[in-house]
């Protein structure tokens, strides 16, 4: 204990006396505290972990047993000689303890009299940009550490740029290790001037600079005698008074992304979610996006009783006066100022995965409670985070930051990230590995998404269908190779043709000879294969046709993607249900034999999965009916439906 | 210096909203969620949050108690009462192999935790096919927890890979699983011990009476004060249980959970004592001391919750 230098001036947040003398008063005080989330960024030697250790220590968040362990560890692996190495308190995982560096985001907690703080400790290494962006995404404020001996470094610029990119408005420039430069005002002023010039160049409007020593405790909790020339706030004082994000969000228009529909019985129907901006109270006129339907809020329901008003940051359940459609992914907004929906955007993307961006590949995009399929175009440019230069790029690699256009398979309800983090921030998910591969921020929607993208034609799809005297549909056959899809599909088309229906059969093998001859059989290519077939089938239904497709289409996600492209009721999933053993025994094309011998890779059912439909519109058990009987069942189901 | 909106939320309101948001995301995206229920104070808070998240519906998932058969009697009582009150299904799982081999904390040490808890949990999750399990772990409890994600993925064999965690941005959670994977979800990750106590206090949430001081029969072993909760406690020659005024900061298997001497009989008194104390919460448990400084991290990689 004696090795630690503690400041004689009373830290502003030691509340032990109150706790001991009047616990009820203390609890009352604690109950009314607000919360500030901040991140600390700096490079390895800037003393970041030491500063956090200091904050925890000064706010009595280090317990005696931890301190004992710390003292022992400090002697064993510490970098501070015989003195307590606060960094060891913060560096958690075994791997990084060995390496002596912080490799991931760690969250720490401490309290003062006014606030609870959550600190995201972010690593300074270049290859861990993703961790910093992660930590910054939930932060109200960033503390950027600079070693007073070294001044503004490349890392400083990178960290500041990333914080600015994520939209952190409150930046603290903590010039650390002032004790090692004799608390020189000259050194401090020079660093602040350098930083100000840089900050201005990337659009940072303001920042608060302070001279500190995490190790010695200067200007952390009170004014330091060592820096009489510094008149600004100390670190804790600043952290206690700066405005938090959620209070800013309250003054924006009301937005509630719907997470879950609460329907315990026929008498209650509520919509649950976290209010992203604004406030809501009974009587408010609301609009549900993207449908645009309007109603009035009747109740804001909680277990503790109905609320008169709820604000940004609260999780609530609201009820409407009218029975309008509203489900997960919809956004409830104030009726006279709703957000837009669009399907093409320009956005800034931070790539977080070892596997680089595949331009044109479909990823999942999750924004708020909406999940859609998206493709990313070739980046317009990437940003060199060290020099802030824009560079040409064909793709985005791990830790790259770029600007690119996106197009989604259906409209997204959105706002620019600068206006609303929830409706403007998204993640991209690899459809095959399910990894979170990127984080993105919507800058704006592209006009052509709304106007030029879909040419309005005078002869409508209804007109096309009307002339043919039929209702367009897609009969989407799915099943294992050799299950009988093509055979039955053929019979179905023949029967429909005889009944004067205008049909077209898209067969898997045939399409691969032409439209999709550039695609192989990897999972990614299979996904693209199905996407293209889906788009073609959609165009054909616009022309009024009944489209029959016969593809293995093994992945549920892609079948659902095609279903989502079409008007409700026009996609009929026909599951040709033949057990693998039966299909393999038939082996009409000899493919199973090849696959078993290892001559054919990625063969569905053998070394590539088949995801059977859970609720197909039509299920044919080929072990029970003949192909002809099957075709009759399908035709009946289709026309009975028409 | 800055104007703070009068409608600002307190830290507990923000933490509550975050936890509820997480629970709703899981229910919306997972196929078969479950809530791990250990009957401790963190579980009490979790259950209360679940009731809030889905009110007026009951929480749309069951409670799972992975029972070691060595919990305090008072814990079993409260467990059954809370299940009834919440209208939720309570599943109790006891590892049959551990039962058959008579694994107990007195004779088997670390194996007891491994068989009953770690293995028992894996077996229970596999048996019912749960793909997402809520847990009440907090990041302030222990160093490796501080770096764990809120949605923490486990392989088919329930292993954790700390180096390969999905980045979590904003309040967006990627709940998509690969085949065989399951998710452990920690909605109160960002709460501290004080937050938990304060929330219990403000919401008047029922907790096991063992958290409050009372005269209880105890023996002292290896510097730990153990409570003699039933007659399975093997007394060593010359050992006589002594009545002491004790309470527990954390509850587990009674032979492995150290008590503290205390006079704190009300919640504010307990909080007061917690705040003024100088030893951290998990120190009362034997588990963290195994395997050196990285004890919990190693346990987690092996599948411990």
The CATH number assigned to the domain holding B86 equals: 3.40.50.620
A114 and A205, same domain (yes or no)? yes
A493 and A355, same domain (yes or no)? no
A220 and A311, same domain (yes or no)? no
Number of domain units in chain B: 2
- Alpha-carbon gap, residue A537 to A506, rounded angstroms: 8
Question: Scanning every residue of chain A, which has its alpha carbon at the shortest distance from the alpha carbon of B196?
Answer: A31
Q: What is the pLDDT of residues A258-269, one digit of tens each?
A: 999 999 998 999
Whether the predicted pLDDT of B7 surpasses 60: no
Q: What is the pLDDT of residues A397-409, one digit of tens each?
A: 988 999 999 999 8
- What was the pLDDT predicted at A123? 65
A235 and A255, same domain (yes or no)? no
Q: State whether residue A65 sits within 8 Å of chain B by CB.
A: yes
Domain boundary among A450, A481, A503: A450
Domain membership of residue B100 (yes or no) is yes
- What was the pLDDT predicted at A540? 94
Q: What DSSP line would sit under B267-288, residue for residue?
A: HHHHHHHHHH--S-GGGGBSGG
Tell me if B24 sits within 8 A of A259, measured CB to CB. yes
Least Cα separation, residue B291 to chain A (angstroms): 11
Q: What is the pLDDT of residues B67-78, one digit of tens each?
A: 999 999 999 999
A95 and A229, same domain (yes or no)? yes
Helix (H) or strand (E) holding B195, with range, is helix B193-203
φ/ψ of A207, rounded to 5, equals -155, 165
Domain membership of residue A555 (yes or no) is yes
Best probe of the B interface among A75, A317, A415, A554, by most B CBs < 10 A, is: A317
Q: Report chain B residues whose CB lies below 8 A from the CB of A241.
A: 1-2
| Of A80 and B165, more confident | B165
Q: Report chain A residues whose CB lies below 8 A from the CB of B269.
A: 23
Query: Of A511, A607, A613, A474, whose CA–CA distance to A555 is shortest?
Result: A613
- Alpha-carbon gap, residue B185 to A465, rounded angstroms: 50
- Alpha-carbon gap, residue A426 to A438, rounded angstroms: 8
| Of A49 and B30, more confident | B30
- Alpha-carbon gap, residue B8 to A313, rounded angstroms: 9
Domain membership of residue A314 (yes or no) is yes
Q: Report chain B residues whose CB lies below 8 A from the CB of A95.
A: 162-163
Burial A63-87 (b: 16+ CB within 10 A, else e): beebbebbbebbeeebeeeebbbbb
**Three-class DSSP labels, A84-101:** CCCHHHHCCCHHHHHHCC
Domain membership of residue B119 (yes or no) is yes
Residue listed under structure tokens 């919509």: A271
Q: Please, which residues bridge with residue A375 across strands?
A: A362, A407
Q: Which of A40-49, A110-119, B124-133 has the highest mean pLDDT?
A: B124-133
Q: What is the pLDDT of residues A561-579, one digit of tens each?
A: 888 888 888 999 999 999 9
Return the structure tokens found at A356.
Answer: 């680089």
Whether the predicted pLDDT of A13 surpasses 70: no
Question: Scanning every residue of chain B, which has its alpha carbon at the shortest distance from the alpha carbon of A351?
Answer: B167
Whether the predicted pLDDT of A427 surpasses 90: yes
- What was the pLDDT predicted at B55? 95
B165 and B219, same domain (yes or no)? no
- Alpha-carbon gap, residue A91 to A445, rounded angstroms: 42
Q: Report the percentage of chain A scoring pLDDT > 70.
A: 86
Contact B16 A279 (CB under 8 A): no
Contact A259 B13 (CB under 8 A): no
**Residue B90 belongs to domain spanning:** 11-195+295-301
Domain membership of residue A6 (yes or no) is no
Domain membership of residue A11 (yes or no) is no
Least Cα separation, residue B100 to chain A (angstroms): 36
Whether the predicted pLDDT of A300 surpasses 80: yes
- What was the pLDDT predicted at B235? 87
A349 and A317, same domain (yes or no)? no
Q: Which of A32, A108, A134 sits opposite B168 (nearest CB)?
A: A134
Contact A262 B56 (CB under 8 A): yes
| Of A512 and A435, more confident | A435
B158 and B227, same domain (yes or no)? no
B250 and B216, same domain (yes or no)? yes
Out of A179-193, A384-398, B33-47, pick the least confident. A384-398
Domain boundary among A417, A450, A483: A450
B80 and B147, same domain (yes or no)? yes
Burial B117-140 (b: 16+ CB within 10 A, else e): bbbbbbbbbeeeebbbbbbbbbbb
Best probe of the A interface among B4, B7, B144, by most A CBs < 10 A, is: B7
Whether the predicted pLDDT of A219 surpasses 80: yes
CB within 8 Å of chain A, chain B residues 149-178:
162-163, 165-172, 174, 176-178
Q: State whether residue A229 sits within 8 Å of chain B by CB.
A: no
Query: Of A498, A502, A505, whose CA–CA distance to A551 is shortest?
Result: A505
Q: State whether residue A32 sits within 8 Å of chain B by CB.
A: yes
Domain membership of residue B52 (yes or no) is yes
Q: How many CA atoms does the CB half-sphere of B12 hold within 13 Å?
A: 20
Q: What is the pLDDT of residues A491-537, one digit of tens each?
A: 999 999 988 899 999 987 788 888 888 888 777 787 888 889 999 99
Q: Which of B7, B144, B176 sits opposite A279 (nearest CB)?
A: B7
Domain membership of residue A109 (yes or no) is yes
Tell me if A36 sits within 8 A of A73, measured CB to CB. no
A501 and A616, same domain (yes or no)? yes
Least Cα separation, residue B96 to chain A (angstroms): 34
Best probe of the A interface among B23, B28, B169, by most A CBs < 10 A, is: B169
CATH number of the structural domain spanning residue A440? 2.40.30.10
Question: Scanning every residue of chain A, which has its alpha carbon at the shortest distance from the alpha carbon of B150?
Answer: A107
Tell me if A576 sits within 8 A of A521, measured CB to CB. no
Whether the predicted pLDDT of B6 surpasses 50: no
Domain membership of residue B21 (yes or no) is yes
B170 and B42, same domain (yes or no)? yes
Whether the predicted pLDDT of B161 surpasses 60: yes
Task: Determine if the peptide bond prior to A221 is cis (ω within 30°).
Answer: no
Q: What is the pLDDT of residues A303-320, one digit of tens each?
A: 999 999 999 999 999 999
Tell me if A164 sits within 8 A of A350, measured CB to CB. no
Number of domain units in chain A: 4
**How do B132-134 and B182-185 pair as beta strands?**
parallel
- Alpha-carbon gap, residue B114 to B287, rounded angstroms: 10
A436 and A314, same domain (yes or no)? no
A263 and A367, same domain (yes or no)? no
CATH number of the structural domain spanning residue A487? 3.40.50.300
Best probe of the B interface among A85, A128, A303, by most B CBs < 10 A, is: A303
Whether the predicted pLDDT of B296 surpasses 80: no
- Mean pLDDT, rounded, for A288-295: 91
Q: What DSSP line would sit under A154-203, residue for residue?
A: HHHHHHHHHHHHHT--EEEEEEE-GGGGTT-HHHHHHHHHHHHHHHHHTT
Residue numbers of A annotated as active site: 553
With a CB cutoff of 8 Å and minimum separation 6, the contacts of A140 are A36, A37, A38, A168, A170, A242, A243, A244, A245
Q: Report the percentage of chain B scoring pLDDT > 90.
A: 55
Query: Of B240, B195, B246, whose CA–CA distance to B46 is shortest?
Result: B195
Question: Scanning every residue of chain B, which has its alpha carbon at the shortest distance from the alpha carbon of A93?
Answer: B144
Burial A316-346 (b: 16+ CB within 10 A, else e): bbbbbeeeeebebbbbbbbbeebbbbbbbbe
Domain membership of residue A181 (yes or no) is yes
A407 and A522, same domain (yes or no)? no
Contact A311 B9 (CB under 8 A): yes
Tell me if B29 sits within 8 A of A370, measured CB to CB. no
pLDDT band at A101 (very low <50, low <70, confident <90, very high): very low
- What was the pLDDT predicted at A351? 94
B250 and B270, same domain (yes or no)? yes
Out of A92-101, A484-493, B196-205, B262-271, pick the least confident. A92-101
Out of A33-47, A544-558, B234-248, B276-290, pick the least confident. B276-290
Whether the predicted pLDDT of A431 surpasses 90: no
The three-state secondary structure class of A364 is strand
Q: Exposed, middle or buried by CB within 10 Å (0-12, 13-18, 19+), for A568?
A: exposed
B103 and B183, same domain (yes or no)? yes
Whether the predicted pLDDT of B292 surpasses 60: no
| Of A455 and B51, more confident | B51
- Mean pLDDT, rounded, for A116-132: 75
pLDDT band at A7 (very low <50, low <70, confident <90, very high): very low
Contact A137 B170 (CB under 8 A): yes
Q: State whether residue B17 sits within 8 Å of chain A by CB.
A: yes
CB within 8 Å of chain A, chain B residues 74-133:
none
What average pLDDT does chain A have? Answer: 85
Q: Report chain B residues whose CB lies below 8 A from the CB of A111.
A: 192, 194
Q: Please, which residues bridge with residue A373 across strands?
A: A364
The three-state secondary structure class of B209 is helix
B223 and B280, same domain (yes or no)? yes
A55 and A187, same domain (yes or no)? yes
- What was the pLDDT predicted at B25? 97
B158 and B237, same domain (yes or no)? no
pLDDT band at A10 (very low <50, low <70, confident <90, very high): very low
Q: State whether residue A609 sits within 8 Å of chain B by CB.
A: yes
**Residue A439 belongs to domain spanning:** 340-450
B59 and B78, same domain (yes or no)? yes
Whether the predicted pLDDT of A298 surpasses 60: yes
Least Cα separation, residue A55 to chain B (angstroms): 14
Q: What is the pLDDT of residues A152-204, one digit of tens each?
A: 988 888 889 989 999 998 999 999 999 999 999 999 999 999 999 999 998 89
**How do B224-227 and B242-247 pair as beta strands?**
unpaired
**How do A571-577 and A34-41 pair as beta strands?**
unpaired
B182 and B253, same domain (yes or no)? no
- What was the pLDDT predicted at B184? 94
Q: What DSSP line would sit under A257-283, residue for residue?
A: E--EEEEEETTEEEEEEE--BSEE-TT
Largest CA distance in chain B: 68
Contact A64 B56 (CB under 8 A): no
- What was the pLDDT predicted at A74? 61
Query: Of A328, A337, A245, A334, whose CA–CA distance to A281 is shortest?
Result: A334
Domain membership of residue A478 (yes or no) is yes
Domain membership of residue A424 (yes or no) is yes
- What was the pLDDT predicted at A210? 96
- Mean pLDDT, rounded, for A409-423: 92
- What was the pLDDT predicted at A85? 64
A534 and A616, same domain (yes or no)? yes
What average pLDDT does chain B have? Answer: 86
- Mean pLDDT, rounded, for B244-254: 91
pTM: 0.76
Q: State whether residue A246 sits within 8 Å of chain B by CB.
A: yes
Domain membership of residue B165 (yes or no) is yes
B106 and B233, same domain (yes or no)? no
Domain membership of residue B96 (yes or no) is yes
Domain membership of residue B2 (yes or no) is no
Beta-carbon pairs below 8 A across chains A and B: 215
Out of A285-299, A303-317, A456-470, A542-556, pick the least confident. A456-470
Least Cα separation, residue A24 to chain B (angstroms): 7
ipTM of the complex, rounded to two decimals: 0.88
Q: What DSSP line would sit under B170-194, residue for residue?
A: TTB------TT-EEEE-TTTT--HH
pLDDT band at A84 (very low <50, low <70, confident <90, very high): low
- Alpha-carbon gap, residue B281 to B296, rounded angstroms: 14
Q: State whether residue B55 sits within 8 Å of chain A by CB.
A: yes
Domain membership of residue B266 (yes or no) is yes
CB within 8 Å of chain B, chain A residues 69-98:
69, 73, 92-95, 97
Domain boundary among A334, A356, A378: A334
Q: Per 3-state DSSP, what percentage of chain B is helix, strand, and coil (rounded to 5)?
A: 40, 15, 45
Q: State whether residue B179 sits within 8 Å of chain A by CB.
A: yes
Query: Of A95, A335, A262, whose CA–CA distance to B23 is shortest?
Result: A262
Contact A33 B162 (CB under 8 A): no
Question: Scanning every residue of chain A, which has its alpha carbon at the shortest distance from the alpha carbon of B139?
Answer: A107
Query: Of A202, B1, A189, whose CA–CA distance to A173 is shortest?
Result: A189
Contact B55 A106 (CB under 8 A): no
| Of A9 and A348, more confident | A348
- What was the pLDDT predicted at B96? 92
């Amino acid at each position: 204990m004696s090795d630690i230098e503690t400041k004689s001036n009373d830290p502003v947040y030691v509340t032990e006396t109150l706790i001991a003398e009047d616990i009820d008063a203390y609890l009352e005080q604690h109950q009314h505290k607000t919360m500030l989330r901040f991140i600390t960024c700096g490079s390895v030697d800037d003393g970041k972990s030491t500063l956090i250790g200091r904050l925890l220590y000064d706010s009595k968040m280090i317990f005696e047993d931890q301190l004992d362990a710390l003292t022992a560890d400090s002697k064993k692996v510490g970098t501070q000689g015989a003195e307590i190495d606060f960094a060891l308190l913060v560096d958690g995982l075994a791997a990084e303890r060995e390496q002596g560096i912080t490799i991931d985001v760690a969250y720490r907690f401490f309290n003062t009299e006014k606030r609870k703080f959550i600190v995201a400790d972010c690593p300074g290494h270049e290859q861990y940009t993703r961790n910093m962006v992660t930590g910054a995404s939930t932060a109200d404020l960033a503390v950027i550490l600079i070693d007073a001996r070294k001044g503004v470094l490349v890392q400083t610029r990178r960290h500041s740029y990333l914080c600015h990119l994520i939209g952190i408005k409150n930046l603290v420039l903590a010039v650390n290790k002032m004790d090692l430069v004799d608390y020189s005002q000259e050194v401090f002023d020079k660093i602040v001037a350098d930083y100000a010039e840089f900050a201005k160049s990337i659009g940072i409007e303001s920042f608060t600079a302070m001279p500190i020593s995490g190790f010695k405790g200067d200007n952390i909790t009170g004014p330091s005698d060592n820096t009489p020339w510094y008149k600004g706030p100390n670190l804790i004082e600043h952290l206690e008074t700066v405005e938090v994000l959620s209070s800013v969000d309250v003054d924006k228009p009301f937005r509630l992304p719907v997470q879950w529909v609460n329907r315990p019985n026929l008498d209650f129907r509520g919509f649950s979610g976290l209010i992203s901006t604004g406030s809501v109270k009974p009587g408010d006129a609301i609009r549900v996006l993207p449908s645009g339907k309007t109603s009035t809020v009747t109740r804001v329901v909680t277990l503790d009783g109905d609320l008169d008003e709820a604000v940004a940051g609260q999780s609530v359940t609201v009820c409407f006066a009218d029975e309008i459609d509203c489900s997960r992914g919809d956004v409830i907004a104030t009726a006279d100022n709703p957000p837009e929906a669009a399907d093409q955007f320009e956005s800034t993307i931070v790539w977080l995965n070892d596997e680089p961006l595949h331009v044109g590949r479909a990823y999942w995009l999750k924004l708020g409670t909406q999940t859609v399929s998206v493709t990313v175009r070739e980046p317009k440019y990437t940003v060199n985070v060290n020099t802030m230069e824009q560079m040409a790029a064909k793709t985005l690699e791990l830790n790259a930051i770029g600007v690119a256009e996106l197009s989604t398979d259906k409209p997204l309800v959105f706002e620019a990230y600068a206006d609303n983090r929830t409706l403007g921030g998204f993640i991209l998910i690899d459809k095959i590995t399910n990894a979170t591969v990127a984080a993105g921020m919507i800058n704006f929607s592209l006009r052509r998404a709304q106007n030029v993208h879909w040419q309005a034609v005078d002869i409508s799809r209804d007109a096309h269908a009307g002339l043919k005297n039929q209702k367009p549909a897609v009969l989407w056959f799915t099943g294992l190779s050799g299950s009988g899809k093509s055979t039955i599909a053929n019979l179905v088309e023949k029967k429909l043709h005889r009944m004067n229906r205008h049909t077209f059969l898209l067969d898997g093998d045939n399409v691969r000879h032409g439209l999709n001859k550039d695609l192989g059989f990897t999972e990614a290519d299979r996904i693209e294969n199905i996407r293209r077939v889906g788009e073609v089938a959609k165009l054909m239904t616009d022309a009024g046709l009944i489209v029959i497709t016969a593809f293995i289409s093994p992945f549920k996600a892609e079948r659902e993607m095609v279903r989502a492209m079409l008007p409700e009721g026009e996609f009929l999933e026909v599951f040709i249900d033949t057990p693998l053993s039966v299909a393999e025994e038939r082996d009409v094309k000899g493919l199973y034999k090849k696959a078993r011998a290892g001559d054919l890779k990625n063969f569905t059912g053998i070394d590539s999965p088949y995801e059977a439909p859970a609720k197909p519109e039509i299920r044919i058990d080929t072990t029970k009916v003949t192909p002809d009987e099957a075709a009759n069942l399908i035709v009946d189901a289709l026309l009975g439906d028409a | 210096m800055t104007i703070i909106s009068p409608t600002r939320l307190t830290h507990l309101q923000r933490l509550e909203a975050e936890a509820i948001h997480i629970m709703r995301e899981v229910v919306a995206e997972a196929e078969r969620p479950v809530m791990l229920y250990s009957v401790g104070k963190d579980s009490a808070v979790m259950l209360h949050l679940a009731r809030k998240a889905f009110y007026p519906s009951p929480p749309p998932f069951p409670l799972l108690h992975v029972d070691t058969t060595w919990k305090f009697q008072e814990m079993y009582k409260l467990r059954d009462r809370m299940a009834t009150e919440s209208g939720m299904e309570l599943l109790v799982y006891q590892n049959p192999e551990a039962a058959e081999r008579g694994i107990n904390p007195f004779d088997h040490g670390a194996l007891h935790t491994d068989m009953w808890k770690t293995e028992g949990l894996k077996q229970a999750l596999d048996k019912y096919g749960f793909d997402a399990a809520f847990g009440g772990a907090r990041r302030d409890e222990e160093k490796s927890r501080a770096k764990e994600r809120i949605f923490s993925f486990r392989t088919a064999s329930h292993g954790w890979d700390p180096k390969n965690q999905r980045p979590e941005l904003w309040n967006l959670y990627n709940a998509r699983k690969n085949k065989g994977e399951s998710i452990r979800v920690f909605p109160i990750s960002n709460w501290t011990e004080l937050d938990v106590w304060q929330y219990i206090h403000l919401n008047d949430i029922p907790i096991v009476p063992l958290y409050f001081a009372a005269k209880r029969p105890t023996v002292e072993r290896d510097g730990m004060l153990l409570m003699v909760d039933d007659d399975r406690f093997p007394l060593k020659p010359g050992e006589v249980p002594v009545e002491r005024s004790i309470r527990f900061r954390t509850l587990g298997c009674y032979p492995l959970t150290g008590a503290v001497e205390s006079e704190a009989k009300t919640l504010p008194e307990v909080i007061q004592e917690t705040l003024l104390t100088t030893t951290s919460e998990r120190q009362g448990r034997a588990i963290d001391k195994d395997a050196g400084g990285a004890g919990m991290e190693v346990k987690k990689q092996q599948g411990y919750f």
